Amino acid sequence: MHKRKPDWLKVKLQGTEKLYQVKKMLNRLSLNTVCEEANCPNIVECFAKKTATFMILGKICTRNCTYCNVTRGTPQDVDPGEPFHVAEAVKELGLKHVVITSVTRDDLPDGGASHFARVIEKIRDINDNTIIEVLIPDFQGDYEALSMVINANPHIINHNIETISRLYPVVRAKADYFRSLELLKKVKQAKNSIYTKSGMMLGLGEKEQEVVDALKDLRKVDCELLTIGQYLAPSSKHHPVIEYIYPETFDKYKELGYEMGFKYVASAPLVRSSYNAEEVSQMLIKN
């Protein structure tokens, strides 16, 4: 049985003219955004601000996470011109903070890490003042692949744990909770100047203490930036929403995150991994 969305999750449609302008540009440059592929509830707001999270390495994912709306199946060939096109889009949009993510490409020898590095380099060539955040897959625990991204020196490396460890077999069967934590740990060990970031969805069936424990695990590996949002099932075929979390609970996790030592915490029902990423940019500039 479908749970009815509470009022605090209803999004008003606005800024549609700028939304179409951004979509037109993305189509012209043959680019994908996770905003569209993952059916993000904030797409109108973010596109109206002329911000977007670019999704590289195609639109087909090699994994089968039950919460995700991105298409899975046989991946497409990697577009060698994509890094330049992403950089051009960043320039056209005048972005101060750009987020680059991808589908998971377990079919590629390096999981797409070298492509991430080329995108970072091209953005920096054209847009030297833009803060670059990458939201990366786990590269199946391959440290050599991860090193390619680290050596490209983005400002932020983001890798979402997504949920608590107990639910991994149900919602992230091909991923590993501790492998994800180890990835974040290795980034800080390799280059402490890079900020690490992670995010979680709530409402998948987790308990409050399990969320607290997950936040503690992130701090143990020196994760600095945190996002927490409400899980919304893309369709009836996906993992169901077990619970809608009250805004007050998100506020409590935000306060707790700061008490634990996170440098930035975004925690609210509609928060997504790259939502209002420019707020992080302001924090980085101040520091």
- What's the rounded Cα separation, in Å, for the pair 41 and 38? 9
Portion of the chain with pLDDT greater than 70, in percent: 78
For the entire predicted model, the pTM comes to: 0.88
- What's the rounded Cα separation, in Å, for the pair 177 and 163? 8
How confident is the model at residue 37, as a pLDDT? 45
How confident is the model at residue 258, as a pLDDT? 97
Cβ-contact 120, 156 below 8 angstroms: no
Q: Which of 216, 204, 217 is nearest to 167 (CA)?
A: 204
- What's the rounded Cα separation, in Å, for the pair 129 and 166? 41
pLDDT in tens, 21-62: 666 766 676 666 554 544 555 455 555 555 567 889 988 887
How confident is the model at residue 50, as a pLDDT? 53
Q: Is the pLDDT of residue 216 over 80?
A: yes
- Amino acid 168 reads Y
- What's the rounded Cα separation, in Å, for the pair 21 and 27? 10
Q: Is the pLDDT of residue 136 over 90?
A: yes
Q: Is the pLDDT of residue 233 over 70?
A: yes
DSSP of 130-172: -EEEEE---GGG-HHHHHHHHHT--SEEE---BS-GGGHHHH-
How confident is the model at residue 38, as a pLDDT? 46
Cβ-contact 8, 268 below 8 angstroms: no
Q: Is the pLDDT of residue 205 over 50?
A: yes
How confident is the model at residue 28, as a pLDDT? 74
- What's the rounded Cα separation, in Å, for the pair 276 and 46? 8
- What's the rounded Cα separation, in Å, for the pair 268 and 171? 21
How confident is the model at residue 158, as a pLDDT? 96
How confident is the model at residue 155, as a pLDDT? 94
Report the greatest alpha carbon distance in the chain: 51
Backbone φ and ψ of 165, nearest 5°: -60, -35
The DSSP bridge pattern shows strands 32-33 and 53-56 to be: antiparallel
- Amino acid 177 reads Y
Domains in the chain (CATH in brackets) are 9-286 (3.20.20.70)
Q: Indicate the pLDDT class of residue 266, thresholds 50, 70 and 90.
A: very high
How confident is the model at residue 208, as a pLDDT? 97
